[in-house]
Amino acid sequence: MNWIAIGTISEIPRRGARCVATPQGKVAVFRTQDDQVYAIDDHCPHKGGPLSQGIVHGAAVTCPLHNWVISLETGKALGVDEGAVRTIPVKVEGERLFLALEALASRAA
Amino acid sequence: MTEKLVIIGNGMAPGRMLEHLLEQAPGRYAVTIFNAEPRVNYDRIMLSPVLSGEKDYEEIIIHGDGWYIKHGITLYKGHKIVAIDRQAKTVTSDHGVTEPYDKLVIATGSVPFIIPVPGHNLPGVLTYRDLDDVRAMMLAAQSRAKAVVIGGGLLGLEAAAGLNAQGMDVTVLHVMPTLMERQLDPAAGYLLQRAVEQRGIKVITKANTQAVTGNGKVEQVELADGTVIPATLVVMAVGIRPNATLAKEAGIAVNRGIVVDAGMRSNDPDIYALGECAEVNGMVYGLVAPLYEMARVAAHQLAGNEAAAFVHSDTPTKLKVTGIELFSLGDFAEGEDRQEIVLRDAAAGVYKRLVLKDDRIIGTVLYGETADGAWFNDLKKKQTDISEMRDTLIFGQSYQGGAPLDPMAAVAALPDDAEICGCNGVCKGKITGAITAKGLTSLDDVRAHTKASASCGSCTGLVEKLMVLTLGDTYNPAAVQPMCSCTTLGHDEVRRLIKAKHLKTIPAVMQELEWKTSCGCAKCRPALNYYLVCDWPDDYADDYQSRFINERVHANIQKDGTYSVVPRMWGGVTNAAELRAIADVVDKFEIPMVKVTGGQRIDMLGIRKEDLPAVWADLGQAGFVSGHAYAKGLRTVKTCVGSDWCRFGTQDSTGLGIRIEKFMWGSWTPAKVKMAVSGCPRNCAEATCKDVGVICVDSGYEIHFAGAAGLDIKGTEVLGLVKTEDEALEHIVALTQMYREQGRYLERIYKWAKRIGIPEIKRQIMDDDAKRKAYYDRFVFSQKFAQVDPWSERVSGKDKHEFRPMASVGFAQAAE
């Protein structure tokens, strides 16, 4: 797998997210309270809300538009809502973060 | 002719006696009360929650001033009776008031016992008896210094817990080997000590206080074994003795207390005594249940029912320290004719002990798990033979007769005469009867009609279960809705505990209040963040990650992920330069839509997040600050043109609106706050459907509040009329602060007002000058930290990461 460097973990606030711009749209990279890092499409399966702008709690994010709660691990909507967003593999090496390039490329398909 | 009834003392016992008397013989007596304390009748049992900060004095008042007026009772506050003349049948106060009586009731209560060690009269040595003591302790606690509580009984431990909650470093000195040895056996005393110590309170048992020393004030406490404990506050809580001096001087028979017969009558047939100062059948009492029983008897006697008689019964003891469950009843000393059943669960911190004699319960100690207290009390009172269920007795009511009962079924299984409220002696049948007969539907109604759970409140859960049983689904005990699924606590409880426990960070709240999730959710975190911002304006560091995106980036997110921006236009007034600047920004950033809002502002919609700081920079150059159109905070103050232009205008409504807005901008509130000022009753600014509105009239400013024009439509309520602009501002600010401190997150003013009650809000803001001023001052203090323009902060580089992508990947080189 090809990994592409996107920066360091300290650039993302705890319980927060940053975006990575790609030709196919934004990817939201999340950092949880306990420093787990996850990447998912910045696009809520409900109405396309920017998930990177939501409140992060545990390993989940609440979409800022209509409060869907999305699991950062699986990309699936939690609770009664149904839907899923694509997850992108993340590698953490010390401070540095990498996204799986193949996953980004295949997303257009 | 009405007879003259004079009462010396205004504590809980005579207060309760009057309630009974007014019911049974209304109009029979002209009542005069002399109260040495300068206040009305309040619930002394609740002084501990006042000390710990969990309640206010106002919340523990039993009879407010209005009650005395309504019943035509004369109350002399701050008058201490110094003499009773039994020949002339008069009493005389220290202020020289002499009042004749036909019947006299002495209810002088008790005085705290002071250990006569050297230094006991130094400044800084207090007792724990009344509100003045509590206020003195709270004042002393502000130093956050060291306190010593002498006495490890009920009062001493409650005082220690209260001072600890107020931030003091507390040491409890107890002369006996274990705490509360009169109510607890040594095992439970040990568990209690451990729990107290876990709260950071030091406990020294077998501590023999030898002296309190210091230079002009308390500095340390010295023990007989040579130990020296530094302290700036010493609280003596070693016991009380009946206050019978006055009666003794008047020649009334006094032993330990004022000697009365079972009808509460002293050896002078026109003089009664009740409460802690009275001695019946050789016993004196300090817990509220028997004192209320005395009150009932005395009222019957005064109403002419001479058969009423006081009968002794054991009263359970409970400790009112949040988080410590403790129940003790009856006699639990060991003896040859006694047997005991003990259950210990060390891991759960549970200890239960039943003392039996002739197959009947005579004593109970429960620690850590007290739900079965009422049932054991009932078995003891009825002297039920327990031999049949002996093997499972200790496991409680749920284990008797087959399958374990759920808590609801356990309550259902209680007999009608089982005591539910120990303080007020209310049994199950009385509560269920009142609910059915009077159609009661709320806990407050049940409290008002039956007194059940109205004193110490520890039986509230039981009372609520009875309401569910009686009313079925029509009663919704989730009047306390949990904040969210992360906790079982409701908003009010959380706000109270944040103050009481001095919780100053979100992790501290979650740890101390036992949140069920590791870092909350999108519902509770913004609420907690607001409560902490509101309660600790100078200490708390706003947690941006717990704010909704709009408040994090100071603009309103739109459905396509772009943002809208509304600059502040004070009072809705603008000018050519401002409009030109807005036009330039719209052109430069190709903003697709510009719209005038309902709050008299200009909204620019469709701005890309990355552009926000640059948009703000340009707007800031023209003098604009954030309009907070995104905030749970002060939004807009709409105005009409008022007396400056309008031929009907009575006051400068535009000027007042601008002044309010400049004073209050930046403040965070539970939900958005929209205001308006109209210059005359024609009300062109539509002030009567706002959260807060002002209608100017010739004679001044009519302040309105609690309107709504959104999901609900509701006209405002009138708070009151004030004469000057300064007063209008002060009242509005105080009202807003009251709402800030009491509102639940996302609860608009009209909903809060409905919950609190319009009269109560008027009372605090219009009638109580001191309270209004205090609210006002707290608002002004918090504004020091709140009035920072968030836009210019971000133009200067704050939260840069919010507005820029972390990286761009996968683009062809040329595309970047």
Q: Is B811 on the interface with A (CB under 8 A)?
A: yes
Which of A31, A53, A67 is the best residue to mutate to test the B interface, defined by the most B CB atoms within 10 Å of its own CB? A53
Q: Is A89 on the interface with B (CB under 8 A)?
A: no
Which is more confidently placed, A77 or B59? A77
Range B372-378 average pLDDT: 86
Tell me the per-residue pLDDT of B656-689, one tens digit each, with 9 for 90 and over: 999 999 999 999 999 999 999 999 999 999 999 9
A56/A32 Cα distance (integer angstroms):
7
B166/B632 Cα distance (integer angstroms):
30
Residue B814 has pLDDT above 50, yes or no: no
Residue B736 has pLDDT above 90, yes or no: yes
Q: Are B531 and B494 in contact (CB under 8 A)?
A: yes
pLDDT for residue B393: 84
Which of B528, B549, B558 is the best residue to mutate to test the A interface, defined by the most A CB atoms within 10 Å of its own CB? B549
Q: Is B785 on the interface with A (CB under 8 A)?
A: no
A40/A38 Cα distance (integer angstroms):
7
State the CATH architecture for B125-238: 3-Layer(bba) Sandwich (3.50)
A58: domain CATH number is 2.102.10.10
Q: Are B20 and B296 in contact (CB under 8 A)?
A: yes
pLDDT for residue B422: 77
A62/A68 Cα distance (integer angstroms):
6
Tell me the per-residue pLDDT of A36-52, one tens digit each, with 9 for 90 and over: 999 999 999 999 999 99
Range B693-707 average pLDDT: 96
Which is more confidently placed, B322 or B354? B354
pLDDT for residue A109: 41
Which chain A residues are within 8 Å of B544, Cβ to Cβ? 13
Contact A55 B801 (CB under 8 A): no
Task: pLDDT band for B1, please (50, 70, 90 cuts).
Answer: low
Residue B335 has pLDDT above 80, yes or no: no
Contact A65 B557 (CB under 8 A): yes
Task: pLDDT band for B480, please (50, 70, 90 cuts).
Answer: low
In chain A, % of residues over pLDDT 90: 75
Q: What is the residue-wise DSSP string for B67-136? A: HHHHTT-EEEETPPEEEEETTTTEEEETTS-EEE-SEEEE---EEE-----TTTTSTTEEE-SSHHHHHH
Range B403-419 average pLDDT: 71
Would you give the distance in Å from CA B17 to the centre of its chain?
26
Residue A8 has pLDDT above 90, yes or no: yes
Least confident window among A98-102, B522-526, B549-553: A98-102
Q: For chains A and B, count residue pairs whose Cβ atoms are closer than 8 Å.
A: 97
Q: Encoding tokens for residue B389?
A: 């269920």
Pairing assessment for the beta strands B807-808 and A16-22 based on DSSP bridges: parallel
Residue B484 has pLDDT above 50, yes or no: yes
Least confident window among B117-121, B142-146, B592-596, B730-734: B142-146
The residues of chain B that CATH labels 3.50.50.60 are: 3-109+242-302, 125-238
Task: pLDDT band for B813, please (50, 70, 90 cuts).
Answer: very low
Which chain A residues are within 8 Å of B805, Cβ to Cβ? 18-21, 26
Q: Encoding tokens for residue B380?
A: 């003891």
Would you give the distance in Å from CA B547 to the centre of its chain?
27
Q: Encoding tokens for residue B365?
A: 């100690």
Task: pLDDT band for B52, please (50, 70, 90 cuts).
Answer: confident
pLDDT for residue B406: 62
Instruction: Report the chain A residue with the minimal C-alpha distance to residue B543.
Output: A15
Task: pLDDT band for B247, please (50, 70, 90 cuts).
Answer: very high
Q: Encoding tokens for residue B646?
A: 């309008």
Q: Are B605 and B558 in contact (CB under 8 A)?
A: yes
Instruction: Report the chain A residue with the minimal C-alpha distance to residue B805.
Output: A19
pLDDT for residue B401: 55
Domain count, chain A: 1
Tell me the per-residue pLDDT of B767-801, one tens digit each, with 9 for 90 and over: 999 999 999 999 999 999 999 899 988 888 888 88
pLDDT for residue B696: 96
pLDDT for residue B815: 37
Residue B742 has pLDDT above 80, yes or no: yes
Tell me the per-residue pLDDT of B260-273, one tens digit each, with 9 for 90 and over: 999 999 999 999 99
Task: pLDDT band for A61, please (50, 70, 90 cuts).
Answer: very high
B274/B454 Cα distance (integer angstroms):
21
pLDDT for residue B403: 47
Least confident window among B117-121, B424-428, B546-550: B424-428
Question: Which listed CATH number (3.20.20.150, 3.50.50.60, 3.40.50.2000, 3.40.50.10470) goes with B3-109+242-302?
Answer: 3.50.50.60
The minimal CB distance from A33 to the residues B518, B549, B811 is found for B518
Residue B483 has pLDDT above 50, yes or no: yes
Q: Is A77 on the interface with B (CB under 8 A)?
A: no
In chain B, % of residues over pLDDT 90: 54
Least confident window among B235-239, B402-406, B591-595, B643-647: B402-406
Residue B405 has pLDDT above 80, yes or no: no
Pairing assessment for the beta strands B125-127 and B233-236 based on DSSP bridges: parallel
Kindly report the CA angle at B424 between B419 and B427, in degrees rounded to 5?
25
B201/B720 Cα distance (integer angstroms):
48
Residue B204 has pLDDT above 70, yes or no: yes
Task: pLDDT band for B478, please (50, 70, 90 cuts).
Answer: low
Which chain A residues are within 8 Å of B519, Cβ to Cβ? 15, 33, 57-58
pLDDT for residue A108: 46
Range B615-638 average pLDDT: 94
Mean pLDDT (chain A, rounded)? 90
Range B165-194 average pLDDT: 87
Contact B545 A104 (CB under 8 A): no
Give B370-429 as a 3 state SS string. CCCHHHHHHHHHCCCCCHHHCCCHHHCHHHCCCCCCCHHHHHHHCCCCCEEECCCCEEHH
Which is more confidently placed, B416 or B656? B656
pLDDT for residue A17: 96
Nearest CA to CA, how far is B453 from chain A (Å)?
Answer: 38
Q: Are B606 and B562 in contact (CB under 8 A)?
A: yes
Q: Is B548 on the interface with A (CB under 8 A)?
A: yes
Contact B522 A69 (CB under 8 A): yes
Domain B634-786: state its class: alpha beta
Q: Is B808 on the interface with A (CB under 8 A)?
A: yes
Residue B452 has pLDDT above 90, yes or no: no
Mean pLDDT (chain B, rounded)? 89
Range B400-423 average pLDDT: 71
pLDDT for residue B608: 94
Q: Encoding tokens for residue B272?
A: 């009664």
Q: Is B561 on the interface with A (CB under 8 A)?
A: yes
Q: Is A47 on the interface with B (CB under 8 A)?
A: yes
Superfamily designation of domain B551-631: Sulfite Reductase Hemoprotein;Domain 2 (3.90.480.10)
B454/B717 Cα distance (integer angstroms):
31
Task: pLDDT band for B58, please (50, 70, 90 cuts).
Answer: confident
